[in-house]
Amino acid sequence: MAIKRETPEVNAGSMADIAFLLLIFFLVTTTLETDQGLDRLLPSIENEPRTIDINEKNVLRVNLNRENQLMLEDEIIDIKILREIAIKFLDNGGSLPNEKNFCDYCNGNRDRNSSDNPNEAIISLTHKRKTAYGFYIAVQNELVGAYNDLRNRESQKLFHQDYVDMEEEYFDENTHLVRKETLKKQIKIVRELFPQKIIESEVINN
């Protein structure tokens, strides 16, 4: 009697169930990463506090109070116009063409009572202990946004590419090394045109 050589077929009907179980397990135990944020560099601790002479007109004072209100100098303003104000301040270029610190790339109002040059313009940001973190981040975001807008403008003028795109390309792993070198130089040039100068401090009383 001949023995049947054919092996019986494995029932694959439950394969989908097994895969579904695995899928659900991974859906539950894993998360999509939220690794994005605002990069900041803290000042290092110095034993002797340095004093620098700064002209008052080169400082934009932004104060956050405990009620989560934004005060510019002494006025309460809406956060939505902060970016515009910051751009106006940084891009002012108030010094005259015959002065040493004349800013030839600025498009601002050239107001004598506002900042001389983006290199000298400083934004001072203070907050109280009770200021909400969310509000503080919103303000930081707007200030960084103001710098990015100006840097993008200059970057477009010089290299026909947005500054933020250049940064992204520079940090991309797939970018070629030669390209990275040129990007590094270009990023440095644009950063020097509008250096980020934000001073942060906490106001202790009340």
Catalog residues that contact another protein under the rule CB under 8 A: 12-13, 15-16, 19-20, 22-23, 26-27, 29-45, 64, 68, 79-80, 127-138, 140-142, 144-145, 148, 167-168, 171, 202
Q: Rank residues 2 and 41 by Cβ distance to another protein and give the closer one.
A: 41
Collect contacts of 198-203 with beta carbons under 8 A, ≥24 apart: 198/122, 198/123, 198/124, 198/125, 198/143, 199/122, 199/123, 199/124, 199/125, 200/125, 200/126, 200/127, 201/124, 201/125, 201/126, 202/126, 202/127, 202/128, 202/129, 203/63, 203/126, 203/127, 203/128
Q: Rank residues 99 and 165 by Cβ distance to another protein and give the closer one.
A: 165
Q: Rank residues 12 and 178 by Cβ distance to another protein and give the closer one.
A: 12
Q: Rank residues 66 and 157 by Cβ distance to another protein and give the closer one.
A: 66
Give the distance, in angstroms, between the CA of residue 18 and the centroid of all CA atoms in the same chain: 45
Asked if residues 92 and 115 have their Cβ atoms less than 8 Å apart, the reply is yes
User: Closest distance between another protein and the C-beta of residue 101, in Å?
Assistant: 28
User: Closest distance between another protein and the C-beta of residue 122, in Å?
Assistant: 19
Rounded to an integer, what distance in angstroms lies between the CA atom of residue 117 and that of residue 97? Answer: 12
User: Closest distance between another protein and the C-beta of residue 104, in Å?
Assistant: 27
User: Closest distance between another protein and the C-beta of residue 82, in Å?
Assistant: 10
Rounded to an integer, what distance in angstroms lies between the CA atom of residue 198 and that of residue 140? Answer: 9
User: Closest distance between another protein and the C-beta of residue 78, in Å?
Assistant: 10
Q: Rank residues 140 and 186 by Cβ distance to another protein and give the closer one.
A: 140
